[in-house]
Amino acid sequence: MKKIEAIIKPFKVDDVKEALNEIGIEGMTVSEVKGYGRQKGHKEIYRGAEYVVDFVPKVKIEVALRADRAEEAVRIIREAAKTDNIGDGKIFVSNLERVVRIRTGEIDEDAL
Amino acid sequence: MKIKTLASELSEKKEKLSEVFLNSGEESFNKNLSELYDEYFVKSLEYILENSTLFTNPFALVALGGYGRQEQAPHSDIDLLFLFENSPQEDEAEKIVRQILYPLWDYKFTIGYSTRTISTCIKEAKSDLFNFTSMLDSRFICGCSSLYFKFAEKFRAYISKSPKKFIEKIILQSEKRHNEYGNSEYLLEPDIKNGMGGLRDYHTIRWIGKINFNLNELKDFQYQGYLSESEYPEFIESLEFITRVRNHLHFLTKRNSDKLHFDHQLKIASRLGVIGKDGKTPVESFLGELHLRMNFLKEIVLMIQNEIGRPKKLGIKRVYKKLTKVEGLEIKNNLLGFKNSKAIIKDPSLLIEIFKVSGLKKVPLNSESKRLVHDFGYLVDDQFRKNQKNIRAFEKTLTIPYTENHPLDSMLNTGMLSYMISEFKEITNRIEYNDYHIYSVGRHSIRAVQSVQRLISDKEGLKNSDLYSSVYSEIRPKRVFLWAVFLHDIGKGQKGEDHSISGARTAKKILKRFGIKKEYIDTISFLIENHLYLVKTATRRDIFDEETIIACAVKTKTAIQLKMLYLLTLADSMATGPKAWTEWNESLVTSLFLKTLRVLENGSLSAPNAIYHLEKKAGEITSSLKKITENAEDIVAGMPPTYIFELSNSDILVHSQLYIKLLKSDRLFVMEVEKNKDSGLRRVFFCAKDRPGFFSNAAGVFTINNMDILDSRAFGWKNSIALSIFTVTAPLDTVYESEIWDKTRQDLEKALENEIDLKSAVKSRKQGFFKKNIFNSKDYVKIDNDSSSFYSIIEVHTKDYPGLLFELTNLLFRFGIDIKNAKIGTKVLQVVDVFYVSSIKEGGKLSKEKCEKLRIEILKELSKIREEDYEEN
């Protein structure tokens, strides 16, 4: 099992969600996050004063899925989240050790 | 065993009583339940006394707290006091308690009990306010009655030593509770007991009444003049409603809970049989009524607290008695009121003036004046509304910072807002059922106005408050902006339509009634119609895309409107609730605002009426294009505003025709030459599939064909199409000119395919140039990373020579830099070249390090070219 964490531009959330739904991935966790990567935040100037946005607002989407579906999901997310502009985000994929569905107690792939 | 039977009977009876309540919503449930408990205690004590002679120490059973008030809620503790004449022996009390209470425990009743003598009672009351207030509600159940009355007498004597001190303590505690439970979380999911306007507020004034005038029944509030004849029944109804809700909540959760969670709200609305109307769902209607009731209770409590508790409290703080100069108003005991009702009839303006004074002097209205405003509201007519003095007074209240007794809140509670603006009635208690909006629409409108003051105050600890206050200071006129904030949700009174649009329309009607200038009305209705635009754009569009920013600039039209819209957006979300007002959202909206503002203030769009001319021009181009193609609209939509703005209509038409031609062909570019026989200059138009390096190659090709570039512009369209215009000197041989142009085109095609070495070809062209032009000036290169949100701007001042543009653009290309926009100007051999560039690989502006490296590299290149030239010659 794999866990995919995608950090994307806020306005791309619906596109990514729909794209994942289309390939049958329906469960996900979405959160509003802030951070920076190579984009390193940015600054705006107003009346001589600098307003530095050091942590840029992004959305994090987390998906847990079977290992054999991870490649496809990563591709789909990338296609949907791409704008070709700066700060499109990143996708992290990691191994998932254990999953438990709280209500039923089902484990691992049954719980996905 | 007998007592056990009593307990089982009690349990059954409670069950039946509950059923009756759940089926019919019977109002006296809580009193009936208290009486059931009484019955149990009376009978069980009788039984004990009959079957035992051991008790020599007289005692009484006393009900405390809610049970004492006969307001027992379904799952609340039974609050019981075993009052003994003398300190009971170790097992003496134990025996009684065991016999009476154990059976109740067996049947899952929850009981809070204590065993005390009169003197320990007083001691407990002294040490703990909670014990004190629960004893204030004490009621004799059974046992030795003379003992209870002796206790009541002692307790009364204890109170009368310093009643003011107790009242102060109680008010202090209630204020503390309001702070704790008054925050927004509790507005969404109210606490029926401890929240603002919850039952605890009622208990508080009941305790105050007990202390102050030995309140016996609730009607005493009216007899003592604290509640008017019309307020009393509303007070009772509100109490009954809130109590009913609490009972349902207990039954629903099967325990002693007071917090009304979301899923409870839906269920209780249906249990109460509430039906939705006027476009509200049942749960919205239910919450609307609950808020109304709780708010009424809160108002009553504040009023009674102010009347009974306030003078003394302020006396301690030594606040000077404030005076008002307004004829017909007076301040007494730190409360503001009308001198008499005749004054209002003589000068109806006092009806609004009193709120202004209250806000400016920070003195709340007394209860009598609130009643008078309510009763004389009919005096507010169109003549009143058009009176400049009244409008100004109202506008003044919009600028008062948030306080507990804010004049706008008082105006809402007294109905004054609805008198002034009848449409406000529709939104006063409208609730939106979601976890986002925590206030009713009416209250939210007021909070939004107050939020403006919070945004610009440095006391709130907001990260960007200096930005907000700087923006606010540039807004003019402020009253126009504040009207927009106040009315931004007025459209929520109507159903169906988008509330921004209906709100803008309604606001126009309202403002006309007040005789506000048309120009201002237009601004206000624009702001209302677009009050969600910035949030939507910031969260749903790419704010790092220039198109988004330009579109936002076009929409907001002027910097002043943008500034108003920005602060309105922030105030609105701040007043909506914690889920709407987050740093995450704020930071997106602020970025969008600053980027757009820069376009409106510094860019080509900052010229007066720029947006208007832009729209006009786009329309003209579209209609000309319609004559030659069906896709006119699409083509114009692809042109960036700066492009439309800076080129003439005829140039744009030439480009558009080239564009149509390019789409039909499989070439990399198409070109068109415009001849001007008189001046000996040529203008060459290009339309190309955008690829980095095109501009540089074109410049080089002109040079090797012996044409000097005098001026050039380059633009990118949105669909990856590059457009450029070069103004060049005419070819040397004008007789065979068309052949030369054919060669130029072929050279460029070869250069793009790397089939010719432009670099050395250009080099050979410029040989000897500097030898002839010894007059030299300093080179100057500036890279500006601040003026644009999207591009680094490179400015190069140098001496012109053949091939300069090619060398420069070629250098940029080698650096991985994409030229989005170029402006090349030559004045008598002095060149000023401006390039708007971005990084090809990373997108966006160049890093600081890269800027500096590039600057040095350009300077080096410029001097190298000259040195080579000197050496070779």
pLDDT at B137 over 90: yes
Cβ-defined contact of B544 to A87 (cutoff 8 Å)? yes
B558 touches chain A (CB under 8 A): no
Cβ-defined contact of A34 to B584 (cutoff 8 Å)? yes
| Range B569-582 burial, b when 16+ CB lie within 10 A, else e | bbbbbbbbbeeebe
Neighbour-count burial of B584, counting CB atoms closer than 10 A to its CB (0-12 exposed, 13-18 middle, 19+ buried): middle
**Helix B129-136 / helix B118-127 crossing angle, nearest 10 deg:** 130
pLDDT per residue as tens digits for the range B286-297: 888 888 888 888
Is omega for the bond preceding B282 within 30 degrees of 0, making it cis?
Answer: no
Question: Which residues in chain B are contacts of A41 at CB distance < 8 A?
Answer: none
Question: Which residues in chain A are contacts of B590 at CB distance < 8 A?
Answer: 44, 51, 53
Nearest beta carbon to residue A53 from set B466, B542, B587: B587
pLDDT per residue as tens digits for the range A62-111: 999 999 999 999 999 999 999 877 788 999 999 999 999 988 888 888 88
Residue with tokens 């007498």: B153
Write down the pLDDT at residue B54. Answer: 64
pLDDT at B447 over 70: yes
CA distance B323 to B400: 19
pLDDT per residue as tens digits for the range B175-231: 888 877 765 556 778 888 988 889 999 999 899 999 988 888 889 888 888 888 888
Residues 775-794 of B with CB under 8 A from A: 786, 789
* DSSP H or E stretch at residue B186: helix B185-188
CA distance B588 to chain A (A): 7
Q: Rounded mean pLDDT of B391-415? A: 90
Write down the pLDDT at residue B312. Answer: 45
B541 touches chain A (CB under 8 A): yes
In a mutational test of the B interface, the residue from A15, A86, A88, A90 whose CB has the highest number of chain B CBs within 10 Å is A86
Side chain identity, residue B60: A
Question: Which residues in chain A are contacts of B594 at CB distance < 8 A?
Answer: 44-46, 51
CA distance A81 to chain B (A): 11
**Which candidate, B640, B741, B739, places its Cα nearest to that of B683?**
B741
Q: Rounded mean pLDDT of B708-721? A: 82
Write down the pLDDT at residue B826. Answer: 72
Residue with tokens 């807004």: B475
* DSSP H or E stretch at residue B709: strand B709-716
Q: Regarding predicted confidence, which is higher, B582 or B567?
A: B567
Question: Which residues in chain A are contacts of B584 at CB distance < 8 A?
Answer: 32, 34, 57
CA distance B857 to chain A (A): 24
Write down the pLDDT at residue B450. Answer: 93
Q: Which of B38-47, B267-276, B425-434 has the lowest mean pLDDT?
A: B425-434
Q: What is the three-class DSSP state of B307?
A: helix
Determine contact, residues B365/B334, Cβ cutoff 8 Å. Answer: no
Determine contact, residues B604/B646, Cβ cutoff 8 Å. Answer: yes
pLDDT per residue as tens digits for the range B452-504: 999 998 887 888 888 999 999 999 899 999 999 999 999 988 777 889 999 99
**Which candidate, B273, B323, B333, places its Cα nearest to that of B303?**
B333
pLDDT at B870 over 60: no
Write down the pLDDT at residue A41. Answer: 65
pTM for the model: 0.71
Q: Rounded mean pLDDT of B71-89? A: 90
Write down the pLDDT at residue B828. Answer: 65
Q: Regarding predicted confidence, which is higher, B846 or B39?
A: B39
Within 10 A of B419 (CB to CB), how many other CB atoms are there? 23
Q: Rounded mean pLDDT of B13-32? A: 88
Nearest beta carbon to residue A85 from set B464, B545, B598: B545
Cβ-defined contact of A11 to B539 (cutoff 8 Å)? yes
pLDDT band at B1 (very low <50, low <70, confident <90, very high): low
pLDDT at B758 over 80: yes
Residue with tokens 């159903």: B495
Neighbour-count burial of B225, counting CB atoms closer than 10 A to its CB (0-12 exposed, 13-18 middle, 19+ buried): exposed
**Helix B546-556 / helix B559-576 crossing angle, nearest 10 deg:** 100
Question: Which residues in chain A are contacts of B719 at CB distance < 8 A?
Answer: none
CA distance B471 to chain A (A): 9
CA distance B686 to B695: 10
In a mutational test of the B interface, the residue from A11, A31, A34, A56 whose CB has the highest number of chain B CBs within 10 Å is A11
Q: Which are the contacts of B684, defined by CB distance < 8 A and separation ≥ 6?
A: B671, B672, B673, B674, B702, B725, B726, B727, B728
DSSP-assigned beta bridge partners for residue A35: A56
Half-sphere exposure of B386 (CA within 13 A, CB side): 6
pLDDT at B240 over 80: yes
Question: Which residues in chain A are contacts of B793 at CB distance < 8 A?
Answer: none
CA distance B63 to B23: 29
Question: Which residues in chain A are contacts of B470 at CB distance < 8 A?
Answer: 46-47, 49
Mean pLDDT of chain B: 86
Write down the pLDDT at residue B153. Answer: 93
Q: List residues of A whose CB lies inside 8 A of any B CB.
A: 9-11, 32, 34, 38-39, 42, 44-47, 49, 51, 53, 55-57, 83-87
Residue with tokens 């440095």: B458
Cβ-defined contact of B584 to A85 (cutoff 8 Å)? no
pLDDT per residue as tens digits for the range B588-644: 899 899 989 988 887 767 766 777 788 888 889 999 999 888 888 888 888 887 788
pLDDT at B765 over 50: yes
DSSP-assigned beta bridge partners for residue B736: none
Question: Which residues in chain A are contacts of B464 at CB distance < 8 A?
Answer: 51
pLDDT band at B763 (very low <50, low <70, confident <90, very high): confident
pLDDT per residue as tens digits for the range B242-286: 999 999 999 998 888 888 888 888 888 888 888 877 777 888 888
Cβ-defined contact of B544 to A32 (cutoff 8 Å)? no
Side chain identity, residue B350: L
Cβ-defined contact of A86 to B843 (cutoff 8 Å)? yes
Question: Which residues in chain B are contacts of A55 at CB distance < 8 A?
Answer: 587
Q: Which of B70-79, B143-152, B858-867 has the lowest mean pLDDT?
A: B858-867
Distance of CA B508 to the CA centre of its chain: 23
CA distance A45 to chain B (A): 7
Write down the pLDDT at residue B74. Answer: 93
Half-sphere exposure of B664 (CA within 13 A, CB side): 7
Write down the pLDDT at residue B816. Answer: 85
Within 10 A of B756 (CB to CB), how many other CB atoms are there? 19
Residues 832-861 of B with CB under 8 A from A: 842-844
Q: How far is CA B241 from CA B193, B195, B431, in A?
A: 13, 15, 18
pLDDT per residue as tens digits for the range A14-68: 999 999 999 988 789 999 998 887 766 677 777 777 777 778 889 999 999 999 9
Within 10 A of B216 (CB to CB), how many other CB atoms are there? 10
Question: Which residues in chain B are contacts of A59 at CB distance < 8 A?
Answer: none
Q: Rounded mean pLDDT of B740-751? A: 91
CA distance B720 to chain A (A): 12
**DSSP-based helix, strand, coil % in chain A, nearest 5:** 30, 40, 35
Write down the pLDDT at residue B485. Answer: 96
Residue with tokens 């830099």: B817
CA distance B480 to B162: 53
CA distance B535 to B539: 6
Write down the pLDDT at residue B288. Answer: 82
CA distance B315 to chain A (A): 46
Question: Strand B111-117 vs strand B78-84: parallel, antiparallel, or unpaired?
Answer: parallel
Write down the pLDDT at residue B747. Answer: 92
Q: Regarding predicted confidence, which is higher, B93 or B237?
A: B237
Cβ-defined contact of A44 to B595 (cutoff 8 Å)? yes
Cβ-defined contact of A38 to B842 (cutoff 8 Å)? yes
pLDDT band at B318 (very low <50, low <70, confident <90, very high): very low
Cβ-defined contact of B467 to A84 (cutoff 8 Å)? no
